[in-house]
Amino acid sequence: MTYIVLIAVAVVLFVIVVVIFMLVRGHGLVKRLQKEVLSNAIPANATVISLARGDYATSEGFRKLELKLTLRVEHPARGPYEVITKWVVDELALPRVQPQEVVPVKINREDPARIYPAADWAEFTDWRLQGSKNVA
């Protein structure tokens, strides 16, 4: 009976270790894909048209605020357009994303509706593999 319990415990531990390994590996892959997308993005500027505030979060000792931004993006090749995006912004940087402020951005080459902040005080929150077409 004790051998059966030991084998069952060993199998459960093995499954747990495999799942943890897969989660860690998957997280690393996602981070690598995000870095690749950002390195391939087009640098530009955008003017904040409006913003809607979301929830606060605390990360690394800083309070961050989730924002839904409407931006007028100045695409270098196709002209200006409006887009809605979600960013998490450091609370101290909130004055930088008020209406009429110009912010540095990066434009996804394959989906110009995906606008990433090009500043260390903000993070893009809508990372997913399929793009959204919300260009106005």
Strand pairing report for 102-107 and 115-117:
antiparallel
Res. 136 pLDDT band, cuts 50 70 90: very low
Distances (CA, A) of 16 to 3, 21, 37, 80, 112: 20, 9, 32, 50, 40
Q: What is the widest separation between alpha-carbon atoms in the chain?
A: 74
Evaluate whether 117 touches 83 at the Cβ level (below 8 Å): no
Residue 132 has a pLDDT of 40
Residue 18 has a pLDDT of 75
Give tens-digit pLDDT for 41-92. 899 999 999 988 877 666 666 688 889 999 999 998 888 999 999 998 988 8
- Does the reported pTM lie above 0.75? no
Residue 131 has a pLDDT of 43
Distances (CA, A) of 59 to 64, 84, 90: 7, 24, 9
Give tens-digit pLDDT for 90-113. 888 889 999 999 999 999 988 899
Residue 103 has a pLDDT of 95
